Each structure stands twice: as C-alpha cells, then as structure tokens.
Amino acid sequence: MSNEKPNIIFILSDDQGAWALGCAGNAEIHTPNLDALAARGTRLENFFCVSPVCSPARASLMTGDIPSRHGVHDYLAGVETGPEAVDYLQGQPLFTDALADAGYTLGLSGKWHLGANDVPRKGFSHWFALEGGGSPYDRSVMYRFDGGTSHRESVTEYLTDAITRDALDFLDEASREPGPFFLALNYTAPHKPWKDQHPPEFEELYSDCRFASCPQEPLHPWTPTVDGVPIGGEPDVRAALVGYFAAVSAMDARIGEVLRRLEGLGVLDNTLVIFSSDNGFNCGHHGIWGKGNGTFPQNVYDSSVKVPAIFALPGRIQEGVVLPELLSAYDVAATVLEFAGLDVRPFERGPGQSFAELLRGLTDPAVAGRDENPDGGGQPATAGDRAVVVFDEYGPVRMIRSTEWKYVHRYPHGPHELYDLAADPDERENLVDEPAHAGRVAGMRAQLQEWFQRHAVPGLDGSWLPVAGAGQTASVLDDPLGAFTAPNWDGTAAAGRTA
C-alpha cells in the first residue's frame, strides 16, 4: 500500500437524497459519471447526515462534531458576507486545518454557507464561494479571494458550470505544486429553484419520465404551505421534478469533466475522490417536498437523513464494493485524515471515528461497534449483529437508528416515533404507543439521551431550541443579541456571536 499522501477532492451536492443516484438503484435518473466512480470505488448505502438541513450538516462534516457541540442548529440566514458577517465555526478546528498544517494546497469552489462566506478559512489559497446559501442558477453572486482581499463577482453563467470551471482552474494550478492538494467542490445542485433553470439538454432527458421513483403522495399533515404549495416545493410539480433530475444530471456531467481533468493531469490514481450530499431530500416522498424542515415539527425520515456517499482511491479503497454498514457524516473528518496519513485523534474526541479500515476491507465491521445495541435492550452486540448505530438531531428533534429500528424523540412533549425498519422500511406505521414495544422505546430513549448527554456541550445543546427553519445557532433565547460561546477542541470556549 502506498504511503504517499493522496490529493483529495471532496465533492458535495446540495439537497440530494440517497435515492437520486443511478448506482443506488434509481433507473430513471442519469448519473453515468457517478455510477462509474462508484464502480471504481466503494459506495455506502447507509450513510447519514448529522442533521437534515444545510448549515448544521456542513458544519458537522468540517468539524466531526454534532450540532449540539459546534452550535449550528439550522440553516444560516442574515448577513453572510462583509465586515458584519460572523464565522460560526470560529475557534473550532476543521479537518482542513490539519491538511493545511501538513502542507496541502487548499481550494474551495462553490457553496460554504457557514457564515463569513467571503473569507477563506485557514490554509485556503483558493476561495470561490457563493454569497449565501442558495441562488438562481442563471444569476449568482460569488466571492473570490485574491491578493488578500475578497472580490464580489456577478455570475450569469449556469452556476454548476461556473463552479466547475473554477475548480478546473484550481486543479491545473495545484497539480503543479510539489505537495498534495485538497479541493472542496461544493455544488448548489440540485437545490431549488428547478423550473426552467437547467440546460435544455438535461431537461430533455426527462421529458417522458414517469418519475416512479418520486411518488406524489397525499400531503403530509405537518407540511407548511404557501398558497397551497409545500414550502419546500414549487407550484408546477412535474416541472420541479424535471428540474431536480436535470440538476443532478448536469452536475454529474461536470463531475465527469473534473475526473477527466485529473486523469489528464496524471494525478487521478493518487487522488481520494469523495462524493456525498449535505442532507437528503423528499420529492413527494411521505407527501413532503423538502428535507427535515419540509415539515413542522421537523422530520428525520430516512429520505431526509440518508445521503449518497462514494469513496474512491485506487489501490487503497476497495473497488466495486457496496457497504451496508450504518455510518455517519460525523465520521468523515477522521476518515479523510487517516487516508492523508495524519493524526485523527483530535477529530475522534466526540462520536466520530474513522472508517478508513472499512473502506480498505481490512476490518470486520461486526466487531467494530462503538455503541451498545439498542435492539437488544442495551446488551452488547455480538459478531454478525453490528453494534454501530447512527444519531441525528435538528433542534429539539432527535433520532437513534439501528439496522432494524428507528426511534425519534421530540422535546419537550413529542410526538415521538418508533419504526420497525425490517418490516416497514418506508416508515409508515408508528409503533411508539404500542404496549408490546414499551420496553424497546424505553431502552432506545435512554440510550439516545445518554449519548447526547455525553457528546453535547452545555449551552450549545439544541434540545431546548425551538428551531423553525429561520436561520439559527445555539443562543440564549432571552438575549436579543444571541451571544454564545463555541468550544475549542479541548472543551475550552472561544467567543462567537449569532446573527
């Protein structure tokens, strides 16, 4: 096995459900380049975001922490650029900090959405970032950091193409450097808007599509609407479906260009390529358009929390493998650093742990559990009954999920949910009030509460935050300025302030 530090490209889509990928079994969507990437790497079929909404999910990817430790609990809004903008992760280590310290050349092309979007983070010599959290595809505002200052650019090129073009420029330059490089390639696709937003050649792919993979179910009773339209959707449902699928396919085509450029530069075989999304998405699934904030109270259906995940690195990651193990985005930071040959311990102080050995095929996952098995009343799992479970949170909504069961707890009063995923994989029958499952509910609830007590930071714990999809970090609710402190890696505080 090579000990050479690999280049790293982390490609992140925006609002892409795990179902929206050809190699994941969706015969309707066209993703040939991502399908080929999966064939030359490993695809994780049970990979979960940490929170089913943009900013907290992205913060967890960068820090390896849960929202109740890094303090971002909802998508961020307000002043996002300029001197008044806030860096919501200030004082908290990012895994890219470790890469910078190890000599990596760092670049970002696309969406950041963690506050102060115009300011490059530690070690980034290239920064081409979206002004906010979303944008039309035919007119966007980007910030480019050059020569010590950030410059505002109005972009009228199709946004996916503009982000790709910038990424290719970075690769051309970084590949000439003596050391390795890291690129965060953060697309806005397939985030809305959808109708009439995407190149005709990609919309045409779906002109006759039945969209059987997106059944339009009766409106979920918790769905907020505006003029009868779900808050996360658009009035013309078919046009929205065409646009969503076209956005994915256009992104896939540009990812193909990036991979071909790497090959042309002679660095593809020493580049760790990761593809994932910030959170899942419902295009009519469960009668919802949107993700976790597509309903109120917020939801954590698998369609909202499960995301695509592909890892490829020839000779060091298994090729053509699909892993069924439950893994979480809070594991990614440590995993990336292990492949870079760096110390993972600062990013394993919380729940996250590297799964690099799993990708290499060197570890028996049945004996690599980190948590006791909630299905067995708290008894340790045995080989063949993997102990690893995943956890999610969105403000006062929390989830614990094993291979066969999911429990959802909503503070302070519910409603709570329990699903038998083996018998009911689509989460249709809530069993939480069934007397036969009272013991299971009590056991999973206790484990959920103990886990968050162990990993959350007082003052940043989101269980008391009534998030309403309006841009929110952990804050003192009776403080109109929203002062809070964010923890450094050792648990000490670094000053910060919400918008």
Per residue in 403-445, pLDDT tens?
999 999 999 999 999 999 999 999 999 999 999 999 999 999 9
Distance CA 106, CA 116 (A): 18
| Residue-level pLDDT at 174 | 97
Distance CA 189, CA 70 (A): 26
| Residue-level pLDDT at 388 | 59
Residue 497 has pLDDT above 50, yes or no: no
Mean pLDDT of 99-118: 97
Judge whether 209 and 202 are in contact, CB under 8 Å.
no
* 3-state SS, one letter per residue, for 139-193: CEEEEEEECCEEEEEEECCCHHHHHHHHHHHHHHHHCCCCCCEEEEEECCCCCCC
Residue 365 has pLDDT above 50, yes or no: no
Q: How far is CA 161 from CA 49, 254, 313, 485, in A?
A: 26, 7, 25, 38
The continuous run of DSSP H or E covering 497 comes out as strand 493-497
Task: Work out the pLDDT band at 309, boundaries 50, 70, 90.
Answer: very high
Rg (CA), the chain: 21
DSSP 292: G
Please give the single-letter amino acid code of residue 348.
E
**Which token pair is 62?**
């960068």
Q: Give pLDDT tens digits for 63-76.
A: 999 999 999 999 99
Residue 26 has pLDDT above 80, yes or no: yes
Lowest mean pLDDT among 19-28, 125-134, 285-294, 459-468: 459-468
Architecture of domain 7-366: 3-Layer(aba) Sandwich (3.40)
| Residue-level pLDDT at 369 | 41
Residue 85 has pLDDT above 70, yes or no: yes
Q: Give pLDDT tens digits for 383-406.
A: 233 345 899 999 999 999 999 999
Lowest mean pLDDT among 200-214, 298-312, 356-370, 477-491: 477-491
Residue 39 has pLDDT above 70, yes or no: yes
Residues in Cβ contact with 312 at an 8 Å cutoff, skipping those fewer than 6 apart: 37, 38, 40, 41, 42, 272, 273, 274, 319
Task: Work out the pLDDT band at 4, boundaries 50, 70, 90.
Answer: confident
The average confidence (pLDDT) of the chain is 90
Residues in Cβ contact with 442 at an 8 Å cutoff, skipping those fewer than 6 apart: none
Mean pLDDT of 312-334: 97
- How many residues in the chain? 499
Give the other-Cβ count within 10 Å of 266's Cβ.
9
